[in-house]
């Protein structure tokens, strides 16, 4: 993280503030250099209570002292009128309507929910990868009548997608299109929220299935790694990597790990001959995100940290490196079926969720989309 500090404070609100992602937003933003927690939204049941009473706090740091006594509001735009940024950790069953209402009320919504990820006017941005997709926002605003001036929705990706697209983006940048990609995940229980996975299902066990997860990974990766092209009608569209078709096959598993998704990835490049493992390692290490280059304070110095030890990355040891804002890669080696295989570790609750939203908002600030 580096210190290109913003000169003034920006007030932010958090939707779903008592949930797992909401708690993480609070823990992370409590020390942010310019975002200031100004309003907390949750369900009707929590509204009106002080935050410390409303929440079942499950973070490993205490509730920030200035947040303890903030009064929780219902998730209605009027309570967030003074906020320039709204972070949403809402569950998918309510996120759709609420986030849209906030957008219509001219609020900039950074969402973790899945509801708008497939919306053709909503960017799906992994801040270490595709900040160029911010270019869709004017068109999203223009679709409203009258056109929105400040409101928009921007989503980040599913936690397991985020881990894998970062090295894939680095490798496409260095070696051109990837043609095929096989991914097997070993995902942490925190990815399912709270109460989430029942302990009887996961202690001394592996569950080789996570509902909807494989489809998300296979689809979101194409949107993120794809370009933003302009149609004959002058409208921008996400091209889903169409210029060079990319086949992705994901197998998703839940394992008894608290935090940190581990993914075994194997890829085939379009380019023949493909790069060597050493070239891949160097390209991964050299990759720098726009978020870091542009001075976002939450961006990790090492977008991708490449381990040399044979048995790394490991979630327990590596998930907190750089506060979980980067991605770890290890075991880069040849694959006998495709070209190259490696292991990725990404902190699902940091870069896989709240940290990505925060970075996206920081990008919006440096790009002048939020003022």
The Cα angle at residue 93 between residues 26 and 38, in degrees rounded to 5: 25
Candidates 31, 203, 273, 371; binder of a second copy (CB under 8 A) is: 203
CA 215 to chain centre: 17
Under the criterion CB under 8 A, does residue 59 sit at the interface with a second copy? yes
Residue 204 sits at φ, ψ, to 5 deg, of: 55, 40
Under the criterion CB under 8 A, does residue 61 sit at the interface with a second copy? yes
- Asked if residue 111 lies in contact with residue 95, where contact means CB atoms within 8 angstroms, the answer is yes
* Separation CA 325–CA 320 (nearest Å): 8
Q: Which is nearer to a second copy, 104 or 194 (by Cβ)?
A: 194
Q: How far is the CB of 203 from a second copy (least distance, A)?
A: 5
- Asked if residue 88 lies in contact with residue 24, where contact means CB atoms within 8 angstroms, the answer is no
Which of 75, 159, 181, 296 is flagged as catalytic? Answer: 159
Three-state secondary structure call for residue 25: helix
Is the four-CA dihedral 118, 96, 110, 370 of positive or negative sign? positive
Three-state secondary structure call for residue 21: helix
Residues 213-242 that bind a second copy (CB under 8 A): 218
Candidates 71, 207, 294, 323; binder of a second copy (CB under 8 A) is: 207
Q: Which secondary structure element, helix H or strand E, spans residue 214, and what is its range?
A: helix 213-225
Candidates 23, 46, 190, 298; binder of a second copy (CB under 8 A) is: 190
- Among 211, 42, 235, smallest CA distance to 120 is for 235
Active site residue 75: no
Per-residue x/- mask for a second copy, residues 293 to 332, rule CB under 8 A?
Answer: -----------------xxxxxxxxxxxx--------xx-
The DSSP secondary structure of 129-185, one letter per residue, reads T-GGGGGGHHHHHHTSSSPPSS-EEEE---HHHHHHHHHHHHHHHHH--EEEEEEEE
Which of 32, 133, 241, 261 is flagged as catalytic? Answer: 261
294 Cβ contact list (under 8 Å, min separation 6): 131, 363, 366, 367
Active site residue 159: yes
Candidates 136, 343, 361, 366; binder of a second copy (CB under 8 A) is: 343
The Cα angle at residue 227 between residues 173 and 335, in degrees rounded to 5: 45
Q: How far is the CB of 259 from a second copy (least distance, A)?
A: 8
Q: How far is the CB of 314 from a second copy (least distance, A)?
A: 5
Per-residue x/- mask for a second copy, residues 264 to 283, rule CB under 8 A?
Answer: x-x-----------------
Under the criterion CB under 8 A, does residue 256 sit at the interface with a second copy? yes
Using the rule CB under 8 A, give the single segment among 34-42, 56-64, 79-87, 281-289 that binds a second copy: 56-64
Per-residue x/- mask for a second copy, residues 142 to 181, rule CB under 8 A?
Answer: --------------------------------------xx
Q: How far is the CB of 201 from a second copy (least distance, A)?
A: 7
Q: How many residues bind a second copy (CB under 8 A)?
A: 62
* Separation CA 173–CA 270 (nearest Å): 13
Which spans of this chain sit near a second copy (rule: CB under 8 A)? Answer: 58-62, 180-182, 184, 186, 189-190, 194-209, 211, 218, 247-249, 251, 253, 255-258, 262, 264, 266, 310-321, 330-331, 335-338, 341, 343
The set of catalytic residues is 159, 261
């Amino acid at each position: 993280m580096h210190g290109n500090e913003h000169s003034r404070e920006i007030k932010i609100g958090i939707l779903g503030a008592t949930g797992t992602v909401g708690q993480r937003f609070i823990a992370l933003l409590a020390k942010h250099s310019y975002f200031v927690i100004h309003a907390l939204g949750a369900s009707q049941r929590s509204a009106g209570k002080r935050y410390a009473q409303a929440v079942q706090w499950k973070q490993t740091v205490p509730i920030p002292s200035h947040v303890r006594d903030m009064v929780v509001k219902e998730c209605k735009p009027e309570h967030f009128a003074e906020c320039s940024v709204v972070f949403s950790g809402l569950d998918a069953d309510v996120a759709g309507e609420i986030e849209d209402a906030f957008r219509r009320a001219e609020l900039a919504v950074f969402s973790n929910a899945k509801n708008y990820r497939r919306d053709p006017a909503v960017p799906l941005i992994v801040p270490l990868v595709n900040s160029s997709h911010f270019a869709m926002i004017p068109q999203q605003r223009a679709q409203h009548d009258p056109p929105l001036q400040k409101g928009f929705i921007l989503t980040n990706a599913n936690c397991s997608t985020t881990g894998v697209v970062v090295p894939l983006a680095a490798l496409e940048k260095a070696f051109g299109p990837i043609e095929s990609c096989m991914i097997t995940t070993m995902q942490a229980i925190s990815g399912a929220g709270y109460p989430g996975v029942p302990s009887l299902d996961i202690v001394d066990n592996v569950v080789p299935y996570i509902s909807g997860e494989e489809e998300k990974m296979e689809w979101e990766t194409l949107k993120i790694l794809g370009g933003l092209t302009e149609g004959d009608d002058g409208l921008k569209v996400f091209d889903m990597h169409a210029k060079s078709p990319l086949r992705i096959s994901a197998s998703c598993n839940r394992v008894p790990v608290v935090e940190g998704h581990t993914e075994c990835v194997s890829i085939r490049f379009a380019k023949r001959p493909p790069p060597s493992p050493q070239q891949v390692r160097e390209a991964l290490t050299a990759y720098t995100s726009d978020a870091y280059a542009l001075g976002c304070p939450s961006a990790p110095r090492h977008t991708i940290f490449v381990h040399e030890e044979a048995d790394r990355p490991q979630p327990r040891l590596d998930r907190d490196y750089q506060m979980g804002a980067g991605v770890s890669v290890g075991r880069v080696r040849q694959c006998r079926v495709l070209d190259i295989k490696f292991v990725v570790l990404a902190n699902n609750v940091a870069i896989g969720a709240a940290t990505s939203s925060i970075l996206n908002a920081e990008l919006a600030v440096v790009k002048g989309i939020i003022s």
